[in-house]
Structure 1
C-alpha cells in the first residue's frame, strides 16, 4: 500500500493515483484573503509564503518531480510601489527560513524568468538558494519569477533569429525542439512541460503563465484562496487529474480508433 505522510500529518494512499511529474500552480487570492480579514494585502502575501512551504513539502512527499510556482509576473510591476517592494523582500525571508528544510528534504531550487531585473538583494537571495540546494536530487522547486509567457516567446524568437542571421542555424532546422531549447524553461529538460496546471481563487484564466509549455497540460481550477490551500486541496487536484484521459490529440484505445 503506497502511503505517504505530509507535513500536515495527513496520510494518503497513492496506489491508484497518477502522480503528475510536473505540476504548475498560479497562486492567486492572497489579496482577497487579506481583504476578507480586514488586513493589508501584505499580510495575504506573507500567509501565501507559508502556503508555499506547505505545498512544496506535500508535493515532494507525493513524488512530484517538478513544482513550478508563479511567484511574480512581468505584469506585476504595475502594482503599487509599496506592494512591489514588499513582494521583492519576500524571497529573502522565505529562503533564509526555508532553505535548511529544502536541503533536508533533498529539494532543489530553480528559477524561470528574468532574475537579473530584480533588486540586487532579491537576486542574491535567489542565487544563494539555488547554489545551496544544487546537490538536491529530489523534487525541483521551480519559481516563475519576473516571468511572462509572451515576453518569453518573443525572446526565444529573437534568440533563434539571431542564430539564423549569424548562419549558425538554417530556418529549415527550426522545430519544436529548437524552440523549446530557447525558452526560459529549457533548464528543466524533459520535464519542462507541466502535466497539471492549477489555479486557485476561482479565476478561470492562465494569466500569461507558460502558454507554450502548457499546450497539453490538464487544467484544474479551485475557488480556494492560495493562503488557505492545503495538501488536501492538492490531493483533490491530483485525483481529478488521475481520472482524465490524456490523448495529446490522438486516440488511446482501439475502440476509439475504430469509432
Structure 2
C-alpha cells in the first residue's frame, strides 16, 4: 500500500494554480496554433472519466497527466493547423502534430520534461482532493481535455506562502501556556453614600468570613473556577476547589 500525503488547498491557492497554468498554456497556444484565441482553463468540478491518459514527468519527479487518447491527439493536431481531417493519411499527420504539440505543452509546465507516454490508469488517490492533486478543464476551439497535476507540480507552479506548522500533542501545546485569572470576593452590598466617602486606609466591616468562596475569572470575564483564601509558605494563596 502506497502512503498518500494529506494536504488541502484553499480558494486562493486553487486560483493561483489555475492562473499559472492558464498563462503558460496561452503562450504554448501562441506558438502552436494558427488561431490561439479562446483558451479557457477552469477547475474541474464534475466527475473525471477519461478513457486514456498521456503522462509526462519532470526531472525532479513532478508529474502531469492529460486526458487524451490517440484520436484526441489527431483532433488536436488538426485544430492547431486549422486543417480538417479527410482520410487516414491526414489523421496520421495530424496525430504526429498533436503528439509534438502536447509534448511542448508538458514542457511548458514541467522542468526538463521527459517524453510523454500513454497511461491506462491514474495512481491511487489522484482524484481525491485531500491528497493535493489538482484537475483542470482545458477548453480551446471546442476541444476539451482534463489536465491533472500532482502535488509536486502544484508546488512548483504556485509555491505555498509558508510551510504548515507541525502538529503538537495537546498536552505539550498547553503545558507552557500562561493564563491570567482575577480573583473576586463578594462582600455584599453597602450604601452608595458610604462608598463615595471612602478614603485609603478606611476599614469596611462585613459579615463575610475570611475563608469565603472566591470566583476566579478569565481575562474576558467568564468565571472558570472557584476557590478560597489560604496561607502557603507565608504567602497568601488561593486553593482551587472546583472548575466550571
Q: TM-score range by the shorter chain?
A: under 0.3
Rg larger for: 2
TM-score by length of structure 1 reads 0.24
Relative contact order higher in (CA < 8 Å, ≥ 6 apart) = 1
TM-score, normalization by structure 2: 0.25
